Amino acid sequence: MKRLAAILLALALSSAAWAASNHASLGYSQDGTVIGPGPDNCWGEEEHNHDGTFENGYAWQYAGTVPPYGGAFGEGMDFGYGFVGCVKLWVSTLPGYFYGQTCDVYVWEGGVTRAPGTVLGMVPGNVLSNVPVWPTVGENDVVVPGYVVQGEVTVGYWGNWPGASCAYFIGADLDGYGGYPWTYIAPGIGYPTGWNDPSVIWGLTQSLGLGLVYVWNSPVESQSWGSIKSMFN
């Protein structure tokens, strides 16, 4: 009987997981506040497309989160030639969702005039330290090893919770001046596979809570990332 009960419980849990939605949102709110990242190790100029406020938050989960980055979010921008030294994430969660799950932070080529393409760099296994409960949004800085960019670029992350419920949600700016938001939709879940505007899933979205910190560098210069950082010490 105990074995039968255990089998039935496992089947029930499995059925519940499959029945749950592969995408989720926090729900609309105009009462949000943003908590800054505190002291960090980022040098240079910050670039993002949102207006500093977020009215919702999005996440993929269960079959919507598939390695290497099915279920990723990104934001495209173009600051010319330079070094990306930090990626910034504005995220929020719900009670009981976040307990230290990690994310892989990515930098992709493209994302403004075309969909994101080649992976320029990836930093795996990041535990975000500023993940407040909605409607509060936390700003997080992830240091990356100075990726060289020669034009448009997309920065973002993939949540490391394949087959499970989400840990947190990326901030969504619904009424800002606009940007280039992206999400990579995993195959076989009823939506167009690959890079798409998140509006396909969640409705009109101006931009996402993603940005970067960079140091501008002309293509004829040959400074290393270490020498550039030393200018800010």
Domain boundaries, the chain: 22-230
Q: Which of 58, 111, 69, 79 is nearest to 212 (CA)?
A: 79
Say if CB 108 and CB 116 are below 8 A apart: yes
Q: Mind giving me the DSSP string for 159-227? A: ES-TTS--S-EEEEESSSS---EEEEEPTTSSS--EEE-THHHHS---EESEEEEEEE--TT----HHH
Per-residue pLDDT of the chain (233 residues; tens, 9 = 90+): 334 333 333 323 333 333 479 999 999 999 989 999 877 678 899 999 999 999 999 999 999 999 999 999 999 999 889 999 999 999 999 999 999 999 999 999 999 999 999 999 999 999 999 999 999 999 999 999 989 999 999 999 999 999 999 999 999 999 999 999 999 999 999 999 999 999 999 999 999 999 999 987 654 444 444 544 444 44
> What is the spatial distance between Cα 42 and Cα 35, in angstroms, rounded to a whole number?
17
Q: Could you tell me the pTM of the whole model?
A: 0.86
